[in-house]
Amino acid sequence: GCPTDWDGLSCWPALPLGQSRAVACRDILNVFKKSEGLIQRNCTEWGWSLPSPPYHSSCQLETLSSNNDTEAKARRFVTMKVLYTCGYSTSLAALLLAIGIFSCFRKLHCTRNSIHIHFFTSFILRGSAVFIKDSVLFSDESIDHCTMSTVTCKAAIAFFQYSVLANFYWLLVEGLYLQTLLLLTFTCDRSYTWGYILVGWGVPMVTVGVWVLTRLHYDDHGCWDDYSSLYWWVIKAPILLAIFVNFLIFLNVTRMLAQKIWCPELSQTHRQQYMRLTKSTLLLIPLFGVHYVVFALFPEHVGVDARLYFELVLGSYQGFLVALLYCFLNGEVQAEIRRSWGKWQRSMESNVFNLATQDFTA
């Protein structure tokens, strides 16, 4: 057969003798305009055949008149990397502090905050996975990503896919819990906790395990960081399922809140609770992943710049937003911190008074 080959524009995976492979112009490194042209190469007895038809005749080149356009694109990607690095760093710091607050104060220990801690942890894993993937795959610009196929890079990609899946499924758990909270009228049932944990951590683990085994047996080339492979749907389909189920939950929660708020028999106390929950729901549209629906059904090559901006730049600050709304701006958390701070101040004043009394009596 023919080994994996990099011809300077496209990566051609290994093929058995006598078979052929075609690549669309739009999938070749964004060098060509969106075109329906196809490039084909055959695996012959003498190795890979030349691209047929040639790139320049099948695909229409972009009019990159000078190095200025290339440099502008490079600056844009560098700027984007700086932005999402700052975003993930800010989110990691905020999420770690939020987890510390929920863990330290005993009065904040409940099912709701336990789910929040798991959700925060999934954001921390996602941010860490981005940094690990960047350090493994893009630390050396001389690396040929076509022929690079190490255990380290595959493990980094597998961990990244698991953290992304876990983040989406804990996002789904947050939606499920909010709906359950409304159906049970603000009661807190711990019997669902293990079910939520199985959904949030177990489903992504099984999915990534199936994906890894599939890639090992049927498509084990490169670093598994290509999204053109048919087996990418093993990861993408569960993500799409989580997004659309969460979107339906968001619509149902909005409907339930509207019905309860306008109910004339509702007491003023419950009405205030539902109003606060409505404000939180409207503020937490990114939490439900509603904005991901915009890109969910589009192919990977459509709206690349907008997709990168939403998923990398805005998505990197999502963890900070979640920590801010669920922890730092939470009235219960603020009251507990003020109570503990006041208790500590009184303790310090008492210690100072005792020391002063001892000095006076001595």
Torsion of CA 316, 317, 323, 325, to 10 degrees: -140
Provide the pLDDT for residue 62: 47
pLDDT in tens, the chain (362 residues): 788 887 777 778 888 888 888 877 766 644 444 455 778 888 888 888 888 777 766 665 544 444 555 566 667 777 778 888 898 999 999 999 999 999 988 888 888 888 889 999 999 999 999 999 888 887 666 665 556 678 888 999 999 999 999 999 998 888 888 888 777 755 555 667 888 899 999 999 999 999 999 999 888 877 887 777 788 889 989 988 988 888 888 788 778 777 766 766 666 666 666 666 666 655 555 555 555 666 655 655 555 666 667 677 777 888 898 888 888 888 888 888 888 888 877 777 666 656 656 655 55
- Residue ranges of the chain that CATH labels 1.20.1070.10: 79-336
What is the bridge-based pairing of β-strands 5-6 and 38-44? unpaired
Provide CATH code, domain 5-57: 4.10.1240.10
Q: Positive or negative CA dihedral for 62, 68, 74, 75?
A: negative
pTM: 0.72
Confirm if 24 and 4 have CB atoms less than 8 A apart: no
Residue 210 CA to residue 235 CA, distance in Å, equals 9
Confirm if 80 and 311 have CB atoms less than 8 A apart: no
- Residue ranges of the chain that CATH labels 4.10.1240.10: 5-57
Provide the pLDDT for residue 126: 92
Count Cβ neighbours within 10 Å for each residue of 164-187 and write b for 16 or more, e otherwise: bbbbbbbbbbbbbbbbebbeeeee
Provide the pLDDT for residue 180: 80
> What 3-state DSSP class applies to 40?
strand
Residue 50 CA to residue 239 CA, distance in Å, equals 38
Class of domain 79-336: mainly alpha
- Closest to 319 in 3D by CA, of 132, 135, 192, 129: 129
Q: Positive or negative CA dihedral for 62, 63, 65, 69?
A: negative
Kindly report, residue by residue over 178-202, the tens digit of the pLDDT.
888 777 755 555 667 888 899 999 9
Provide the pLDDT for residue 157: 92
Kindly report, residue by residue over 264-311, the tens digit of the pLDDT.
666 666 666 666 666 665 555 555 555 566 665 565 555 566 666 767
